[in-house]
Amino acid sequence: MLDVKLIGLGSFLPGESITNEKMEEIFGLRQDWIDTMIGTKTRYFACDLDEKVFKFELVDVCTRAAEKALENSGLSAEQIDFVVMSTATPDHLMPATVNLVVDRLGMNNVPTFEIQAGCSGALQGLEVAYRFLQSGAFKNGLVIGGDVMNKYLDFSRDFKKIRSSELINLALFGDGAGAVVMSNDAEKSGIKIEQIVTRFEGLGREPGQVMNWFGTIVDSSMKDSKGKRIQSAKEDYKAIEAHVPAMAGEMMDELLTKTGWSKEDVSYYMPPQLGGIMTDKICTYLELAEGKALNCVAETGNNGNALPYIQLSMLAERMQSGETAVGVAIESSKWLKTGIALRKE
């Protein structure tokens, strides 16, 4: 089997960063409550909160991230043999957003694949590409992950009358995209994938997160069979807090066993990024040494499939030859566990 490396990374966050002060001004969410309960300081939205206009679709942010990854890899779009994309918020049911991105990049006659998933989709996409490249079927692949969570915002609603269980998602989630170029070319330098694991563990378990499909048309009047309004997104935060740290620990232990590394051998950790407070709790639970954890969610918001790529971009900027890293992403939607082990050559 061939070695596979990450040779170019890129990310894109739309618009200006939105502070907690701005969240209180627009949505009535107290900034001190966000600081204390969520721990996220800023996030990025695909819409302009002042103009109440949506300025970015998923295809826009994903194309920007892919262009940056290609530029950083030194490869042209014509040298890419396949494209994999993951998202929980596609622009349409059809056409798949990956095909819209590929078209924007000027690519043709290339295999494309789209994975529907939350943040675990980023590592699912990496594994699909890894298996293709490891087998020698292709030489270079482009993998993209992105989400535009806030396409569901309905500015006609009175936010002061919205339940806190819905408003919390506005403080928690953000929009963005990330991408990576992967290659099995032995002459290319980069970050080598040592191990990658993706696994469904939701048999018989209730979902911890549900996102309902409203397409690109916002309709806040949709109701279920019992006449209750359908939320675009809802989470079982108690279940998430109870299960995600343990699942992250299990995945970390599995990766260390597969690589033969001790915890001290790992130079950097990329823990699950849910919200600032929850991420800190996970790092404490995992007993990660100070300075080893690469966290970004407090500044970027939880932007789903984009977030692991932003962590990888942080890693690429810091990682030196011979250093190692372990990353974990846990998806609570139906309980998926994913992880990756890396070494800089």
Domain 5-183: assigned CATH number: 3.40.47.10
- What pLDDT sits at residue 214? 54
pLDDT the model gives residue 92: 87
- Decide if 102 contacts 111 (C-beta within 8 A): no
Distance CA 34, CA 277 (A): 10
pLDDT at residue 156, rounded to an integer: 80
pLDDT mean over 38-61: 93
State how far the Cα of 255 lies from the Cα of 259, in Å rounded to an integer. Answer: 6
Instruction: Report residue 217's pLDDT band, with 50, 70 and 90 as the boundaries.
Output: very low
pTM score of the predicted model: 0.91
Mean pLDDT value across the chain: 90
Single-letter amino acid, residue 153: L
Question: Hey, is 7 helix, strand or coil?
Answer: strand
Angle at 328 between CA 97 and CA 189, to 5 degrees: 75
- Neighbour count for residue 254 (Cβ, 10 Å): 17
Question: Domain limits of the chain?
Answer: 5-183, 191-344
Domains 5-183 and 191-344 share a fold: yes
Segment 261-288 shows an average pLDDT of: 91
Q: Which of 6-15, 226-235, 294-303 is the least confident region?
A: 226-235
Would you say residue 303 has pLDDT above 70?
A: yes
Per-residue DSSP letter, 204: T
The DSSP code sequence of 240-277 is HHHHHHHHHHHHHHHHHHHHT--GGG-SEEE---S-HH
Q: Give the containing element (helix H, strand E) for 18.
A: strand 18-19
Residues whose CB is less than 8 angstroms from the CB of residue 295 and which lie 6 or more positions away in sequence, other chains included? 271, 273, 276, 279, 280, 283, 311
Fold for the domain defined by 191-344:
Peroxisomal Thiolase; Chain A, domain 1 (3.40.47)
Handedness of CA 117, 120, 126, 132 (dihedral sign): negative
Is it true that the peptide bond before 95 is cis, omega within 30 degrees of 0? yes
